[in-house]
Structure 1
């Protein structure tokens, strides 16, 4: 497995990974798949400032990705970033998420502009919760029934890590 910064050529596969979760899962509260053109601004907002976008590559193909994104648009929040990790459904259970988490947190710790990493995790996502606990994230609270997807209301938990 090779962990590296994402490049433009990765975008179609990253979009495929994300859209799979949009359609089939509840890790994101987006409900409609994105097109490449719609996802381009998201891509362009990364690998600038303290917002890296990294890829776990297996056999030359992205198997997953991790980002640190803006947590809130207000300037005082600039040192707090939101973590997201998505793994191709065919590569789950193969430690891709763990390797991405380790690498993205290393980047956060190396960047003096980053003070806190926050993750917003759907309450039913036990694998993500376990991964965050393993890396020392602290549970910060739940917003109950924050979103409606797949015919049900879903809670979201907030997890944080000082870096």
Structure 2
């Protein structure tokens, strides 16, 4: 049975749960190439950087608990890249498969358009077929591939660049 969830902008009170979801991915998946858990202090800096309205963070709340999150981030720090952004989405493992990632990517794309982004990109490990399929469902296409750029869990991994132009 599909869950009923709320999608909203993240608040400071959500940060510990956002970080816990991210750290689970760090330790158990190749969705991020971080190799060590992110400290709460580092998460606070990250969240502070996303207080700029141009780089929002959204959470999915289910039964009063944050069960996933997504963000828009700078694609590159140089000024000429300002209208290009990168999306990230993480869902708690016990809540996957309930369309939360779909809802998050939809709202991130809507926000990117509203904020004046020209393009949005996602860097997705090539073995992450579900995330690649999700991006394609929302109109992203494969813009390129970085071959064997990250090593995690003893694997040398490729990264797909998924892109949409608004």
| TM-score, scaled to structure 2 | 0.95
Aligned length: 162
Shift of 1:116: 0.6
What is residue 162 of structure 1 aligned with on the other side?
165
Shift of 1:39: 1.2
Q: Say what the alpha-carbon RMSD is for the aligned residues.
A: 0.8
Shift of 1:49: 3.7
1:94 paired to 2:118 = no
| TM-score, scaled to structure 1 | 0.97
* 3-state SS, counterpart of residue 68 of structure 1: strand
Q: Once superposed, which parts of structure 1, at least 4 consecutive aligned residues long, lie more than 6 Å away?
A: none
* TM-superposition CA deviations, 1:101-155 (whole Å, max 9, x none): 111111111112x111000000100000000010000110111101000001000
2: distance between equivalents of 1:116 and 1:101? 14
2: distance between equivalents of 1:83 and 1:104? 7
What is residue 54 of structure 2 aligned with on the other side?
50
What is residue 82 of structure 1 aligned with on the other side?
86
Q: Which structure 1 residue ranges, 5 or more long, are not aligned?
A: none
* 3-state SS, counterpart of residue 22 of structure 1: helix
Shift of 1:47: 3.5
* TM-superposition CA deviations, 1:62-114 (whole Å, max 9, x none): 110110001101100011001000001010001110111111111111112x1
- Mapping of 1:1-163 within 5 angstroms? 1-112=5-116, 114-163=117-166
